[in-house]
Structure 1
């Protein structure tokens, strides 16, 4: 199965078009219910809800988050956490999540996750202190353990937010001082920080930065580089083809380099991106440079955790007349 995308390259500037695809006809099988749902009060008026991403084989295109019987958020398939806001202080809430696929089928609701918001603190504009210390270590190729010391706040810390490369990836409770992060990639360097939050949603500065590298996993871990990159020139065009890396999730974003320069990010729509480890991707480039110009082409994929993966082997192509 192939999904082409087209773009233009005036003087190494590419203009891309999103690929589109239709859901398979006659698909009536719903995805499985999301698992691993958790809910953690982040302030007097907000709760952070998280769950595990559906396996790529489920064909999930989005999630629906429910507070009790009410739909409160709809998210694309690459989002597996959300802050539910405008809640009442000192109130118990129940949250569930369900998945939907490209054919419109919806999964059963997940198991419920419960959280109680803390009391509000009037006129609280002072942020907590940063956690004084943070340590971390890899726990195998796909997990890391972070530990931090408690922050202080005049009205009390209500949550700790873990950030990876500036993006929040986890929220822990006020009484927690450690967490295990899963779903990481083997042989990959990560940077984590921890911030404290209080009941008024004031957030501390980052605590100390933790840098760690997950060990490689030759037996189980996938190569993060796309495979089998080919480049074929015809008059005014270059056709690229490659196999997505087998990361266990949909891969729909690639960074293209020409002659060691990043020239574009190729993005495919959620319905058109090929599940990792299957099929091939095709991308067509319209060329305005002179015939006989030599391109050295390579690309890398955006991994499910937000990092860029390894580059493909470089391939050379001579622009055709």
Structure 2
């Protein structure tokens, strides 16, 4: 009489069946090593580390940043830059970056990048001047090059920070006045500003804002974003004007976003005005409150179109 299989035998048989059928995913392929790693001092006690996106046979889920072999930061796979704080002034450091996938496979370490923090400037409360004459040039549909006039500071500019819709996306050394921004999407409106920073972490006011609309992807029509958005702040009110997108039909509905969140829907019950559109809303915030505003239109097919460029306002 044949004896029934034991539990360990059943478990082994199940494992063999899963493996044979492809039910068990043994991902042993490592992500590619991050390239384009840069490290620059943002202040006397911080360093800004950036790198280009690594690739994997499935997906990169995270990055690890090391300082002389010791892990100092763990970041999600969508992040390609980080500030390393609490460093010592006038000190040399080296940083490397490794990519990680969902199976825990780590890439090889990137080449070590050296950086030296500047000498501390105690009691420095003077911010650099505003960077001047910011310009942007599209490099295809997924990248752009920015250039600006040099800022001045009482102790020296250590870095320039590039912002896209109030979020810092890039930094370059204080000796540079150009930056190459990648990872953009085709057919999208972007608004860029630049701030100068010194060794004491004082940041300048924003440069002038510049807009860039990247070229549309092959087969996709023109941008559906409202254009020429202008913001005028008056006592207790904010006036918006813009040019509606060309959709083939009058646009009767828009969504207004303030600080990235939907604030209201603007609807014309009858025929919308020809040419420039306008909208006024009331504000009760205290003077000095900062807002960003952008719009998108409801298209004839009922979908929401592309966002306009973003405008920043300060309540007076």
TM bucket, shorter chain: 0.5 to 0.7
Q: Larger radius of gyration, structure 1 or 2?
A: 2
**Once the two structures are superposed, what CA deviation does each residue of 1:75-106 show, in whole Å capped at 9, x if it has no partner?**
01111100011111111211001011111111
Q: Could you tell me which residue of structure 1 aligns to residue 69 of structure 2?
A: 69
Q: TM-score, normalised by structure 1?
A: 0.61
Give 2:96's aligned residue.
96
Is the alpha carbon distance of 1:98 and 1:128 closer, same or farther for their aligned partners in structure 2, counting shifts above 3 Å? same
Q: Structure 2 length normalisation: TM-score?
A: 0.61
**2:131/2:194 contact within 8 Å kept:** yes
Call closer, same or farther: CA 1:101–1:122 in 2, change over 3 Å.
same
1:24 to 1:62, Cα distance in 2 relative to 1, 3 A: farther
Q: After superposition, where does 1:1-321 map in structure 2 within 5 Å?
A: 25-55=25-55, 57-218=57-218
- Counterpart-to-counterpart distance in 1, 2:64 and 2:195: 28
Whole-angstrom CA distance in 2 between matches of 1:142 and 1:38: 21
For structure 2, the residue ranges without an aligned partner over 5 or more in a row are 1-22, 224-252, 257-293, 304-316
Kindly provide the CA deviation profile for residues 44-74 of structure 1, in whole angstroms up to 9, marking residues without a partner as x. 1111000111236441111100011111000
Q: CA deviation at 1:125?
A: 1.5
Query: Tell me, what secondary structure is at the counterpart of 1:133?
Result: strand
Q: 1:141·1:217 contact (CA, 8 Å) conserved in 2?
A: yes
Tell me: CA distance 1:134–1:87, structure 2 relative to 1, closer, same or farther (3 Å): same
Please, what is the CA RMSD of the aligned residues?
3.2
How many pairs does the alignment contain?
215
Which of structure 1's runs of 4+ aligned residues deviate more than 6 A?
221-224, 259-262, 307-313
Structure 1: gaps (5+ residues): 1-22, 225-258, 263-306, 316-321
- How far residue 222 of structure 1 moved from its aligned partner, in angstroms, is 12
Could you tell me how far apart the structure 2 residues matched to 1:261 and 1:180 are? Answer: 32
SS of alignment partner, residue 107 of structure 1: coil
Which of 1 and 2 has higher RCO (CA within 8 Å, sep 6+)?
A: 1
Deviations 1:119-138 (A, max 9, x none): 11011112111112211121
CA gap 1:69/1:191 in 2 versus in 1, 3 angstroms: same
